[in-house]
């Protein structure tokens, strides 16, 4: 891909694709929308996003794929409203007025922080869209720094203007979002984006996040870092004896969604069993499920030639020190071996199935890089292991099959809470 | 010394490198591969496992593309040997340009002799006679050792074509003008060096009058260069630009410049460019271009991963390797230069796969 110059992709509700020297104008544009957004009724905004969720799921079902259903459910007024309530101490109306939260003297009002800048990662654009919605719902205007592959993202945001509720026109709301592509070497505009952000949200790999964090910022701005993270699965023998087929199907969905490029995608499946035959038999089931998911539900779109080579390397390496089950091409790979640690991620639907060694895992599960741990075992046992493991690391423990479905909190944070300032005053003068 | 009976491989090595067409070659080549497959299957645990994993039976009626391949990176991670360790007399290390770990290739006398025989036959078809070699490297590079870097190994491999040899660089890899002063215009010369080093020397000395003056005594020397293009590609130097610079610097014509493609993991069976810029596959090896997604054979003109097959390696199971290079077949048996067999072009070397998602952790 050639050098892409800095340009505006969407401004004041219109797709423009215009090369620019400075992004100052777009900062000015969103700033102008702050008062309008602040004046919107919160329930009306929730209504708007519920309609938008259904519209996206229908119109872009092919591009969004299996996430469509989740999009509708997450953006439903009931769900998003509840998530907002939980994030804001139990009452969303705190965004519109002073609320009594049972403090003897104080009442509280949540104000938007201002401009939220979202650095969105290329392979997980749908996850990035959720952070934009959370910003708007807390009445913050947004600037999206688009990844180099931004087609779907642009289409989704542009389509906001097709939606209307009784009180909100999409053509007005869309003006609260500007999209720019800023070349990574365009230091001047990267710095401008960062300095003008009241909230910086970074989705992406380690390199991208480090580069964003190194940019100068206002001392009062808030950073929300989504990624870089590692995720895995734990299953006990008892669950496998009851439900191996279903569990393997769900793991296959978690592995295939985002082709494992999301922070919530699993790279290792630990099986708590001393019987290697059980582990290998389960690996075969996962392989079959991965094949089914690739054929029917989430066909792999593409694999870069370099990634294909990496997959072939890892297959041969583990063919010599373990067992490999794979597609005839480079679509998916299941690896079993004697290794007991967290497998190094290869991405692109390569999953390692390993025997669980709790002591070893405890040592490794000590870094904040661990995000999602899907645990399949009897409920009480599950709570117990979650408590032990997450003392040091691990932020989400959803059911298998739901690992990459966006939720709030995410990465251990109530994002919407981080996007507001808490204003207080006294109940009595 | 152990007597190894490998009549099919010996027969193959007795053939001229580019005289028989692909159809004829397929027959003799397959039998030689079968002989080699048997040896490695019986003597390399790892190779046996790779074949068994793929349910490949070398005794059956197989097609060449069914032979399991070993990605080159495996030679960095495992010490692959198919003979008793005491038979190893030389270990070659790759240049490790893409990763920091070099490949380790263990050679016994049988492998080494076969490699030399193949290399001599192939290069003779391009150079025709012995020449005075001016090596663009330092003498230090080939200092005697059992553990040899691929650069030294390549230089040594070309000794049979050298009427005389001069190293034209100092130990710090800067040009040694004293050696260049001894150039006599009546002699036939051949400059030999690694691609990136050759580029560096030209860049450093293109305005050096003394060097230019000495090189002006050359009369259309041959220029043989080998090794990857990665470093040049990284700084956006095209082949055309590089060849223009070579022609001007060494006072020669573009058709005297020969780029030699090859792998440390399969020394001897090299792939030189003809004057039509095509890399020729000799009868001693074969290549298959594989689609990186489906892993199936690609047709002529389509780029894919280059798989190299050769029955020559005896001490290590490198008889079918998957390189990390991308190339495409240009044709079979019909290159205008007259050489038979497959001919291809190199497209690019694989780079580390790009990771962009929030699942990309570095540690």
What's the domain count of chain B? 1
* Cβ–Cβ under 8 Å, residues B116 and B268: yes
Own/partner pairs, B251-255, CB within 8 angstroms, 24+ separation: B251/B215, B251/B216, B251/B218, B251/B219, B251/B220, B251/B221, B252/B218, B252/B220, B252/B221, B252/B222, B252/B223, B253/B220
Kind and range of the H or E run holding A28: helix A24-32
Q: Is pLDDT at B102 greater than 90 in this prediction?
A: no
Determine the average pLDDT of the residues in A304-320: 92
Chain A residue closest to B352 (CA)? Answer: A306
User: CB distance B359–A260 less than 8 Å?
Assistant: yes
A304 at interface of B, judged by CB pairs closer than 8 A:
yes
Give domain status of residue B28, yes or no.
Answer: no
pLDDT over 90 at B171, yes or no? no
Interface test with B, best of A148, A312, A335 (most B CBs within 10 A): A312
Read off the tokens for B334: 């019909």
- Confirm whether pTM is higher than 0.90: no
Asked if the structure places residue B73 within a domain, the reply is no
ipTM for this model: 0.82
What is the average pLDDT across A223-242?
Answer: 94
Closest by alpha carbon to B310, among B107, B67, B123? B67
- A229 and chain B in contact, CB less than 8 A: yes
Say whether pLDDT at A51 is over 70.
yes
- Tens digits of residue pLDDT in A114-156: 999 999 887 677 878 999 999 999 999 999 999 888 899 999 9
What the block records as the tokens of A419 is: 């996007």
Indicate the residue of B46, B350, B362 with minimum beta-carbon distance to A309: B350
Domain-embedded: residue B168: yes
User: Which residues 176-205 of A are in CB contact (within 8 Å) with B?
Assistant: 203-205
Asked if residue B209 belongs to a domain, the reply is: yes
- pLDDT category of residue B159 using cuts at 50, 70 and 90: confident
**pLDDT, tens digit (0-9, with 9 covering 90-100), for B285-300:** 999 999 988 899 999 9
pLDDT confidence band for B107 (50 / 70 / 90): very high
Number of residues in chain A: 429
- Identify the DSSP state of A163: -
User: Mean pLDDT over residues B141-157, rounded?
Assistant: 72
- pLDDT at position A197 is 98
Cα dihedral across residues A318, A323, A326, A332: positive or negative? negative
pLDDT band at B80 (very low <50, low <70, confident <90, very high): very high
From the number of C-beta atoms within 10 Å of its C-beta (0-12, 13-18, 19+), residue A53 rates as buried
Mean pLDDT of A372-394: 95
User: Is the pLDDT score of A227 beyond 80?
Assistant: no
Strands A420-426 and A106-112 turn out to be antiparallel
Alpha-carbon gap: B93 to the closest alpha carbon of chain A (Å): 19
Q: Which long-range contacts (CB under 8 A, 24 or more apart) does B184-187 make?
A: B184/B217, B185/B217, B185/B218, B185/B219, B187/B132
Neighbours of A140 (CB within 10 A): 25
d(CA A194, CA A349): 34
Q: What is the pLDDT of residue A4?
A: 57
Residue B363 has a pLDDT of 39
**Mean pLDDT for chain B?**
87
Question: How much of chain B exceeds pLDDT 70, in percent?
Answer: 92
Evaluate whether residue B97 is within a structural domain.
no
Compute the average pLDDT of residues A202-228: 91
Cis amide prior to A228 (ω within 30 degrees):
yes
Please judge whether A306 and B352 are an interchain contact, meaning their C-beta atoms are less than 8 angstroms apart. yes
Q: Give the residue from B305, B326, B293, B322 showing the smallest Cα distance to B75.
A: B322
Structural domain includes residue B170: yes
B158 vs A24, more confident: A24
With an 8 Å Cβ cutoff, are A206 and B362 in contact?
yes
With a cut of 90, say whether residue A251 has pLDDT above it.
Answer: yes
The conformational region for residue A283 under phi > 0 = left, psi -120 to 50 = alpha, else beta, is alpha
- Is residue B145 assigned to a domain? yes
Q: Could you tell me the CATH number of the domain that includes residue B234?
A: 3.40.50
Tens of pLDDT, residue by residue over B3-33, are 567 899 999 999 999 999 999 999 999 999 9
Q: What is the pLDDT of residue B95?
A: 63
In this prediction, residue A2 carries a pLDDT of 41
Model confidence over B175-214: pLDDT tens digits? 887 787 887 877 788 999 888 889 989 998 888 888 888 8
Radius of gyration over every alpha carbon of chain A, rounded to an integer in angstroms: 23
pLDDT the model gives residue A141? 98
Residue B108 counted as domain residue: no
Give the C-alpha distances (Å, rounded to integers) separating A400 from A273, A280, A286.
18, 19, 13
Partner-chain contact A261 B322, CB within 8 Å: no
Integer Cα distance of A121 and A148 in angstroms: 9
Burial (CB count <10 Å: 0-12, 13-18, 19+), residue A211: middle
Where does the pLDDT of residue B35 fall: very low under 50, low under 70, confident under 90, or very high at 90 and above? very high
Q: What is the pLDDT of residue A276?
A: 94
- Given a cut of 50, whether residue B362 has pLDDT beyond it is no
B359 and A307: CB-CB below 8 Å? no
Lowest mean pLDDT among A178-182, A228-232, A305-309, B351-355: B351-355
Q: What is the pLDDT of residue B117?
A: 93
Going along A319-379, which residue ranges are E strands? Answer: 322-326, 333-337, 350-355, 370-376
Whether residue A178 has pLDDT greater than 60 = yes
Compute the average pLDDT of residues A16-36. Answer: 94
H/E stretch holding A225: strand A222-226
For chain A, domains (ranges, CATH) are 7-227+411-426 (3.40.605.10), 230-389 (3.40.309.10)
Q: Tell me, what's the pLDDT at A1?
A: 40
Within 8 A of A265 by CB-CB distance, chain B residues are 357, 359
CA nearest to A203 within chain B: B358
Structure tokens at A181: 């592509």
SS3 at position A260: helix
* Mean pLDDT, residues A151-171 taken together: 95
For B181, the domain range is 117-261
A66-70: average pLDDT: 86
Lowest average pLDDT, out of A77-81, A120-124, B2-6, B122-126, goes to B2-6
């Amino acid at each position: 891909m050639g050098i892409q110059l800095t340009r505006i992709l969407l401004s004041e509700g219109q797709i423009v694709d215009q090369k620019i020297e400075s992004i100052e104008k777009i900062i000015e544009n969103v700033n102008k929308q702050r008062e309008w957004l602040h004046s919107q009724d919160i329930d009306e905004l929730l209504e708007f996003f519920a309609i938008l969720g259904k519209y996206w799921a229908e119109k872009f079902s092919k591009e969004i794929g299996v996430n469509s259903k989740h999009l509708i459910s997450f953006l439903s007024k009931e769900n998003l409203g509840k998530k907002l309530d939980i994030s804001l101490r139990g009452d969303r109306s705190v965004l519109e007025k002073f609320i009594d939260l049972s403090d003897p003297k104080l009442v509280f009002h949540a104000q938007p922080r201002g401009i939220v800048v979202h650095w969105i990662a290329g392979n997980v654009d749908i996850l990035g869209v959720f952070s934009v919605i959370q910003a708007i719902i807390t009445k913050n205007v947004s600037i999206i720094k688009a990844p180099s592959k931004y087609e779907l993202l642009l289409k989704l945001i542009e389509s906001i203007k097709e939606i209307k509720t009784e009180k909100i026109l999409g053509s007005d709301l869309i003006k609260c979002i500007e999209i720019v592509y800023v070349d990574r070497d365009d230091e001047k505009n990267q710095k401008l984006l960062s300095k003008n952000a009241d909230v910086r949200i970074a989705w992406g790999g380690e390199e991208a996040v480090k580069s964003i964090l190194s940019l100068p910022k206002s001392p009062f701005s808030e950073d929300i870092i989504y990624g870089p993270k590692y995720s895995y699965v734990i299953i006990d023998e008892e669950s496998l004896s009851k439900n191996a087929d279903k569990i393997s199907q769900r793991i296959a969905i978690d592995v295939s969604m985002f082709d494992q490029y999301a922070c919530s995608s699993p790279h290792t499946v630990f099986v708590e069993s001393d019987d290697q035959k059980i582990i290998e038999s389960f690996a075969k089931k996962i392989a079959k499920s991965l094949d089914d998911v690739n054929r029917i539900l989430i066909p792999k779109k593409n694999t870069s030639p370099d990634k294909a080579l990496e997959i072939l390397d890892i297959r041969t390496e583990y063919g010599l020190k373990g067992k490999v089950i794979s597609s005839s091409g480079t679509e998916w790979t299941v690896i079993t071996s004697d290794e007991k640690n967290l497998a190094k991620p290869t991405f692109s639907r390569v999953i390692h199935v390993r025997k669980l060694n709790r002591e070893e895992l405890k040592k490794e599960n000590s870094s904040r890089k661990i995000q999602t741990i899907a645990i399949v075992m009897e409920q009480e046992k599950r709570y117990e292991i979650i408590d032990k493991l997450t003392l040091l690391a691990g932020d989400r423990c959803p059911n298998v099959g739901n690992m990459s479905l966006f939720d709030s909190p995410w990465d251990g944070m109530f994002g919407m809470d981080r996007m507001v300032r808490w204003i207080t005053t006294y109940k009595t003068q | 010394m152990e007597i190894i009976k490998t009549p099919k491989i010996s027969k193959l090595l007795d053939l001229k490198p580019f005289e028989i067409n692909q159809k004829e070659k397929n027959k003799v080549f397959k039998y030689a591969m079968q002989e080699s497959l048997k040896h490695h299957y019986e003597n390399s645990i790892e190779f046996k496992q790779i074949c068994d994993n793929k349910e490949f039976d070398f005794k059956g009626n197989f097609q060449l593309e069914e032979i399991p391949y070993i990605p080159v990176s495996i030679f960095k991670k495992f010490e692959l040997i198919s003979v008793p360790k005491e038979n190893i007399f030389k270990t070659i290390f790759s240049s490790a340009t893409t990763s920091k770990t070099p490949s380790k290739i263990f050679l016994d006398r049988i492998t080494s002799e076969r490699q030399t025989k193949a290399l001599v036959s192939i290069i003779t078809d391009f150079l025709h006679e012995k020449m005075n070699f001016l090596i663009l490297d330092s003498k230090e590079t080939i200092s005697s050792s059992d553990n040899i870097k691929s650069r030294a190994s390549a230089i040594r491999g070309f000794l049979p074509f050298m009427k005389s040899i001069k190293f034209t660089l100092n130990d710090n890899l800067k040009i040694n003008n004293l050696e260049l002063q001894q150039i006599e215009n009546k002699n036939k010369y051949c400059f030999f060096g690694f691609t990136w080093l050759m580029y560096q020397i030209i860049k450093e000395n293109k305005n050096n009058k003394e060097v230019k003056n000495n090189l002006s005594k050359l009369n259309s020397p041959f220029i043989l260069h080998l090794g990857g293009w990665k470093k040049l590609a990284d700084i956006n130097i095209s082949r055309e630009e590089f060849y223009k610079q070579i022609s001007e610097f060494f006072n020669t014509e573009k058709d005297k410049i020969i780029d030699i493609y090859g792998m440390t993991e399969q020394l001897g069976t090299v792939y030189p460019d003809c004057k039509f810029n095509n890399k020729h596959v000799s009868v001693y090896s074969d290549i298959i271009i594989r689609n990186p997604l489906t892993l199936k054979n690609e047709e002529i003109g389509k780029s894919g991963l280059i798989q190299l097959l050769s029955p020559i390696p005896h001490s290590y199971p490198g008889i079918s390797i998957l390189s990390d290079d991308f190339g495409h077949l240009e044709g079979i048996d019909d290159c205008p230069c007259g050489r038979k067999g497959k001919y291809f072009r190199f497209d690019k070397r694989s780079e580390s796969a790009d990771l962009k998602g929030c699942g990309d952790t570095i540690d």
